Chains A and B, each alone.
Chain A
């Protein structure tokens, strides 16, 4: 059974940093394309970014609002995905989901972790 478990969310001041983790079981993160998706309170889903599998180069892509501030990485020894978030803004307040991308669709999702950016 595949499980994705996020952690690391919390309250942070504008301009601050936070690192989210996503521990995987039942799949090997280095073999998969993984994404982060966020959902602001009462709002819709927003795709944040993606890291390709190791065999596909492990490159990353991000949406414009987070480009240069957010970084997706992976620790293969821990089978864990990360989202490093710097220079946080109030607009970044959301539940952040870790998810597996499989040939154009997201087939596994974590339960989400809430990030609140507020002074």
Chain B
């Protein structure tokens, strides 16, 4: 099972929106609505920010939103803030196992 493909980095100014793509196959992203997204700061454990493609856990700002079309899922961060600067990973169920994305570093300019 190959890692899902994400852009290595994206950047934006405070207040802008950025979108991170996550491309897989019909055996993972395209085959299930179990796509989740995680935010990770250096030296800390990841934190769940989106699950089931579009749902947000309690406490996650609505600036974070998810979507999916075919074999590609996306995470959009609206109204970019300084503390959004972190690494972001997608993850998909792939039938008995899970596969993570390659990770994207978000830089707030």
A and B associate: yes
Q: Which residues in A have some Cβ–Cβ distance to B below 8 Å?
A: 35, 37, 44-47, 49-50, 61-64, 97, 101, 103-107, 109-112
- Shortest CB-to-CB span from A64 to chain B, Å, is 8
Nearest-neighbor residue (CB-CB) of A49 within chain B: B97
Nearest-neighbor residue (CB-CB) of A107 within chain B: B48
Query: B46: CB under 8 A from chain A?
Result: yes
A103 to B52, CA, bound (A): 9
Task: Say yes or no: A104 contacts B51, CB within 8 Å.
Answer: yes
- Shortest CB-to-CB span from A9 to chain B, Å, is 14
CB < 8 Å A-B pair total:
63
Task: Say yes or no: B45 contacts A107, CB within 8 Å.
Answer: no
Q: Which residues of B contact A109 (CB under 8 A)?
A: 45-47
Contacts of B19-57 to chain A: CB distance below 8 A: 32, 34, 36, 38, 40, 44-48, 51-52, 57
Nearest-neighbor residue (CB-CB) of A62 within chain B: B97
Query: B69: CB under 8 A from chain A?
Result: no
* Residue among A49, A61, A105 with most chain B CB within 10 A: A105
Q: Which residues in B have some Cβ–Cβ distance to A below 8 Å?
A: 1, 3, 32, 34, 36, 38, 40, 44-48, 51-52, 57, 89, 91, 93, 96-103
22 contacts between A and B (CB under 8 A): A44-B101, A44-B102, A45-B40, A45-B91, A45-B103, A46-B100, A47-B99, A47-B100, A61-B97, A103-B34, A104-B51, A104-B52, A105-B51, A105-B91, A106-B36, A106-B46, A106-B48, A107-B51, A109-B45, A109-B46, A109-B47, A112-B45
Q: Which residues of A contact B36 (CB under 8 A)?
A: 104-106
* Residue among A37, A97, A101 with most chain B CB within 10 A: A37
Q: Which residues of A contact B52 (CB under 8 A)?
A: 103-105
